[in-house]
Amino acid sequence: MSATAIATPSTMWPSAKERRSDGLVAFDACHRRTLAIVGALEDMVATLDRAGPSAATCAEAASIAEFLSGEARAHHEHEERFLFPALLRGADPSLMRAVRRLHEDHDRMEEAWMELEPHVQAIATGFGTWDRDVLREGVCLLAALQRDHIEAEESLIYPELRKRLGSTDRRVLGRSLAKGERIAQDTSTLENPAVLEQISHSV
């Protein structure tokens, strides 16, 4: 079972054409998938509380680990590289504080996942050991962090991004995400690698 199999109905993952024509669509879709994966992780812990790992549980653990180590990490990286800088240009202090908090959330979620990952991988592969209490507490923490973070992003920064990024920026973003590349052309509203560095001095 793949992460996609856990996370979709198909509406959760728009077509390649839709994602290429508007990069924000791909970011939104990743939020939906992340929430589905977090739910699957909680269900997995509940299943393990009732019984030991089955073949289905192992496969599910593998897909969850694949998603959280791959697509979820890339999503945070892309937000930091492409979206946060676009928000910070001309931002008022409250928006700058919000972006800084979201950036720190990414670090907290990464730390939570790094604690949890060896246990999920042990279930997935059957090698190594996993601890039920560590797993339960780690999943609880990661799920809360992910849900709070996505809610904050969707209530504040994504509406603001929709105002700031025009159709050309969103298309450039979509194409770059589809290719797995850095944005190749100059887009004045998108990339500024120094901006996050500036936050710590300005907030």
**Footprint of Fe ion (CB under 5 A):** 79, 153
1 or 35: CB nearest Fe ion: 35
What count of Cα atoms within 13 Å lies in the side-chain half-sphere of residue 99? 30
Kindly state the smallest distance separating residue 161's Cβ from Fe ion, in Å: 11
How far is the first Cα of the chain from the last one, in angstroms, to the nearest whole number? 44
31 or 119: CB nearest Fe ion: 31
Could you give the CA distance from residue 76 to residue 126 in angstroms, rounded to a whole number? 29
Kindly state the smallest distance separating residue 14's Cβ from Fe ion, in Å: 16
58 or 203: CB nearest Fe ion: 203
Helix (H) or strand (E) segment spanning residue 76: helix 71-78
Kindly state the smallest distance separating residue 165's Cβ from Fe ion, in Å: 15
Kindly state the smallest distance separating residue 106's Cβ from Fe ion, in Å: 6
20 or 106: CB nearest Fe ion: 106
153 or 169: CB nearest Fe ion: 153
The position carrying tokens 């710590």 is 200
Kindly state the smallest distance separating residue 76's Cβ from Fe ion, in Å: 5
Dihedral over Cα of 56, 58, 61, 67: its sign? negative
22 or 153: CB nearest Fe ion: 153
Kindly state the smallest distance separating residue 59's Cβ from Fe ion, in Å: 26
The position carrying tokens 């959280």 is 68
At residue 151, φ and ψ (nearest 5 deg) are: -60, -45
Contacts of 121 (CB under 8 A, 6+ apart): 61, 65, 128
Total number of residues shown for the chain: 203
